[in-house]
């Protein structure tokens, strides 16, 4: 075998046996410069933040950085738009209506029924009142105008006629009856309950009408209300089965002979008294509402029978505090009102206050609480038409000037009764017989001229409930915002807190001098650490070169010995020439530093796949560089095989070894060992120390290192701190004298 072939073989073996520490790669650490405080905080935030995008922007290069930056900005724009849209929707207070059908097992409360006679003034009363001829027909017409609505009052009279009638009333109250009032007149002139409500029955069971009826003054004069829901007889409170036979039946007497103008003694009929028709008008309404202001009435004339089938709706609305526009309490300007709030009552009092301010009195139809002065027809007319020559235009303006009462909002909880009517003419023979048995004074012709039958019942024992709901809530808005944050930026509440903390730190750096000084001191310490690292790298580089020279020298010495033994005749000459060549050309000694290297170790790793790691570039240096450049956090990239890796150098006293002895160093916590064969050249007794270098991993703060040779075993347990920079371990001898140097 030639010398060149032996050298190639030796070179191949050396490439597998010698550990190469990437000193050139470590040198890049010294070229990194520190970063400013704000930049450091920013890079630290980018490293730990869970927000999608900043890390890719910071780690990207060139086109990829621009690409991710554009996507990040677009995501922020869309997220901002979505959040603004959601808040705009929430602030618009949207509502929806929920429809449900309820079937109460206990039945439905009977609504209030108000029954009015179209003839509010009895002829017999007027005849008795006018015996002295002091109560003329004109005065009667004037009295009937007191309950007229304003449009009817203005259209059916003129100021001159009303003024003359008003003067008659003043004379009558002054000279004839000083105690005369409009309320007393209607109460006395109207019909009594027993005169008009003859027969009442509920579910086929009769009851006393007048025991349950209460008188009330309306725009039709004196009326009677049947509020069976408040009856002391519980069987009258609810209808438990649907149908006409389970509802309310009222037989009423109109008293046609009591009409004004019916008698031959009175030739002129008062149009204001009978409202153009005979019979009754009744209202089906909620007990708290004013009938003539809240619902439409149903008319029936004598000789007829009406069937009113009721369909019920319940409305539950949201108040103004819950995004609705209803109200269950009186407005602030109506604090003096002590009755239950309803929209119809509020409307009546609103109009009453308007007339009090304008005219000093109010029409009787609006004076529902009785606390205000009632206006006579002439007082209302003269208040709105001060100039008799401009009647039409003034009245038109007066009607337009009436308040809209927008402060009177709808009821939050109300019942709506929709009535479907059908009529029947005449009475059957059986009905006539039944009625004559109940009231013996009635005859067939009287029944046909005066009697009406009113049937009121529920079509079905159930009602439709309309409830107003908020279409979105604050919790739903937060949920939608969270979904959009996750969709566009992968953010959560914790991510938002990270962003807030980052900006707080930036503000802290801006306004706090103490914080800036702290960051400055920290930066100086990092620079000092980098300087020490640079020195370590240089020392390690020289040490690595020394190891290479020693290894090469020994291999060449062995090669010369083998060549000398192969060529015995020329061995001395070849060996001397080869030694001189190696000493002078290939690997000259440098005696200036006083070090001579004759003993060395060739190390290999035995467990956990260490041999494979020798052929892979270490990422330890990359980790340190990225830590200096990007700060801690996710920007520090560590591979699973080299996490927490440290560089360990051990200086060994070679005098303790025999030639061919094996040195084994074990990291017991990871079951990892490093073996080095120590071949000692007996002729070189002046070499006192040798070195080996290998990477270790510190798995915890109490790593256990064991050093052993062929015939001896030594243990050493030390508290090893974890470092992000290389750790040096100097061993003076095998008696475990360790010294640690933190870089």
Percent of the chain with pLDDT strictly greater than 70: 63
Mean pLDDT along residues 216-223: 88
Looking at residues 396-419, what average pLDDT do you find?
A: 84
| Domain C-terminal end among 471, 489, 505 | 471
Q: For residue 52, is pLDDT > 80?
A: yes
CB-based contact 44:38 (threshold 8 Å): no
Q: Do 427 and 531 reside in the same domain of the chain?
A: no
What CATH number has the domain bearing residue 290? 2.60.470.10
The DSSP H or E segment spanning 262 is none
394 falls within a domain: no
- Segment among 173-182, 241-250, 703-712 with least mean pLDDT: 703-712
**Considering only 123-132, 301-310, 438-447, which range has the smallest mean pLDDT?**
123-132
pLDDT tens-place string over residues 635-688: 443 334 444 444 444 444 445 444 444 555 555 445 555 555 554 444 444 444
* Same domain flag for 307 and 441: yes
Does residue 523 sit in the same domain as residue 458? no
Give yes or no: residues 29 and 100 share one domain: no
Residue 718: band (very low, low, confident or very high) from pLDDT cuts 50, 70, 90: very low
Domain co-membership, 666 together with 531: yes
Q: Give the residue-averaged pLDDT of 187-192.
A: 92
Helices of type H across 582-686: 610-614, 620-630
Q: Does any domain span residue 638?
A: yes
Angle at 570 between CA 569 and CA 574, to 5 degrees: 155
Residue 558 lies in a domain: no
Residue 722 reports pLDDT greater than 50? no
pLDDT value of residue 592 = 43
pLDDT of the residue at 76: 93
Checking if the pLDDT of 102 tops 90, the result is: yes
> Is the pTM higher than 0.75?
no
Is 318 part of a structural domain of the chain? yes
d(CA 700, CA 36): 33
Calpha distance 510→38 (Å, rounded): 9
Question: What pLDDT sits at residue 727?
Answer: 33
Across the chain, mean pLDDT equals 73
CA pair distance 3, 544, nearest whole angstrom: 26
Q: Does residue 18 register a pLDDT over 50? A: no
Nearest to 98 by CA among 317, 248, 262: 317
- The pLDDT, as a whole number, for residue 504 is 85
Residue 520: inside a domain, yes or no?
A: yes
Q: Answer yes or no: do 460 and 531 share one domain.
A: no
Identify whether 425 is part of a domain: yes
Domain membership flag for residue 439: yes
Domain end among 406, 441, 471: 471
103 and 19 housed in the same domain? no
In this predicted structure, the answer to whether residue 560 has a pLDDT above a threshold of 60 is yes
Q: Residue 197 falls within a domain, yes or no?
A: yes
**Rounded mean pLDDT of 81-94?**
92
**What is the span of the domain harbouring residue 314?**
95-119+193-328+414-471
Q: Does residue 423 sit in the same domain as residue 523? A: no
- Per the structure, the count of domains in the chain is 2
DSSP secondary structure, 265-327, as one string: T--S--HHHHTTS-SEEEEEE-TTS-HHHHS--EEE-TTEEEEEEEEEEEEE--BGGGT--EE
How would residue 86 be classed by pLDDT, with cut points 50, 70 and 90?
very high
């Amino acid at each position: 075998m030639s010398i060149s072939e032996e050298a190639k073989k030796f070179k191949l073996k050396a490439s597998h046996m010698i550990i190469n520490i990437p000193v050139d790669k470590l040198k890049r650490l010294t070229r990194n410069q520190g970063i400013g405080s704000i930049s450091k905080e920013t890079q630290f935030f980018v490293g730990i933040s869970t927000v999608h995008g900043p890390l890719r922007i910071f780690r990207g290069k060139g086109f990829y950085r621009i690409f991710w930056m554009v996507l990040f900005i677009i995501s922020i724009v869309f997220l901002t738009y979505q959040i603004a849209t959601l808040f705009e929707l929430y602030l618009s207070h949207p509502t929806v209506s929920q429809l449900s059908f309820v079937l109460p097992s206990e039945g439905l409360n009977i609504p209030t029924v108000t029954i009015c006679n179209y003839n509010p003034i009895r002829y017999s009363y007027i005849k008795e009142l006018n015996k002295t001829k002091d109560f003329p027909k004109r005065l009667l017409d004037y009295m009937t105008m007191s309950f007229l609505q304003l449009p009817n009052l203005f259209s059916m009279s003129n100021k001159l006629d009303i003024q003359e009638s008003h003067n008659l009333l003043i004379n009558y109250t002054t000279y004839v009856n000083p105690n005369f009032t409009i309320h007393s007149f209607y109460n006395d002139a109207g019909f009594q309950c027993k005169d008009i409500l003859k027969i009442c029955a509920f579910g086929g069971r009769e009851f006393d009408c007048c025991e349950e009826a209460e008188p009330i003054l309306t725009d039709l004069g004196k009326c009677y209300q049947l509020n069976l829901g408040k009856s002391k007889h519980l069987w009258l409170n609810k209808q438990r089965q649907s149908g006409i036979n389970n509802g309310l039946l009222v037989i009423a007497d109109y008293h046609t002979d009591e009409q004004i103008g019916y008698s031959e003694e009175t030739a002129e009929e008062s149009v204001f008294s009978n409202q153009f028709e005979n019979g009754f008008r009744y209202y089906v309404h909620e007990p708290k509402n004013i009938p003539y202001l809240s619902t439409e009435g149903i008319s029936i004339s004598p000789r007829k029978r009406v069937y009113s089938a009721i369909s019920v709706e319940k409305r539950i609305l949201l108040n103004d505090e819950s995004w609705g526009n209803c109200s269950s309490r009186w407005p602030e300007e109506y604090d003096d009102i002590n009755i239950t709030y309803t929209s119809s009552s509020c409307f009546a009092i609103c109009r009453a206050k308007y007339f009090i301010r304008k005219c000093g009195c109010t029409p009787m139809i609006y004076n529902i609480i009785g606390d205000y002065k009632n206006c006579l027809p002439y007082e209302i007319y003269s208040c709105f038409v001060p100039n008799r020559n401009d009647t039409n235009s003034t009245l038109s303006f007066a009607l337009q000037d009436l308040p809209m009462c927008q402060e009177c909002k709808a009821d939050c909880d109300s019942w709506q009764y929709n009535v479907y009517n059908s009529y029947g003419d005449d009475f059957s023979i059986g009905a006539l017989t039944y009625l004559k048995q109940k009231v013996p004074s009635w005859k067939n012709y009287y029944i046909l001229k005066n009697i009406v039958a009113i049937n009121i019942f529920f079509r079905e024992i159930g009602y439709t409930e309309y409830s107003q709901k908020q279409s979105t809530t604050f919790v739903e808005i937060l949920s939608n915002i969270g979904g959009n944050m996750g969709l566009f930026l992968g953010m959560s509440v914790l991510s938002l807190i990270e962003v807030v903390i980052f900006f707080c730190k930036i503000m802290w750096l801006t306004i706090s001098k103490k914080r800036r000084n702290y960051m400055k001191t920290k930066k100086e310490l990092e620079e000092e650490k980098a300087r020490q690292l640079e020195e370590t790298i240089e020392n390690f580089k020289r040490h690595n070169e020394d190891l290479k020279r020693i290894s090469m020298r020994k291999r060449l010495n062995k090669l010369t010995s083998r060549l000398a033994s192969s060529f015995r005749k020329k061995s001395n000459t070849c060996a001397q020439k080869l030694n001189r060549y190696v000493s002078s050309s290939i690997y000259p000694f440098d005696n200036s530093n006083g070090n001579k290297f004759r003993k060395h170790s060739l190390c290999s790793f035995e467990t956990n796949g260490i041999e494979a790691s020798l052929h892979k570039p270490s990422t330890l240096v990359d980790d340190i560089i990225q830590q200096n450049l990007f700060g801690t956090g996710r920007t520090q990239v560590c591979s699973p095989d080299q996490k927490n890796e440290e560089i360990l150098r051990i200086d060994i006293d070679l005098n303790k070894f025999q030639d061919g002895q094996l040195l084994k160093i074990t990291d017991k916590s990871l079951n990892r060992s490093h073996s080095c064969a120590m071949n000692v050249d007996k002729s070189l007794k002046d070499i006192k120390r040798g070195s080996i270098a290998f990477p270790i991993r510190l798995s915890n703060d109490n790593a256990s290192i064991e050093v052993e040779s062929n015939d001896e075993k030594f243990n050493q347990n030390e508290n090893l701190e974890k470092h992000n920079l290389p750790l040096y371990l100097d061993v003076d001898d095998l008696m475990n004298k360790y010294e640690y140097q933190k870089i």
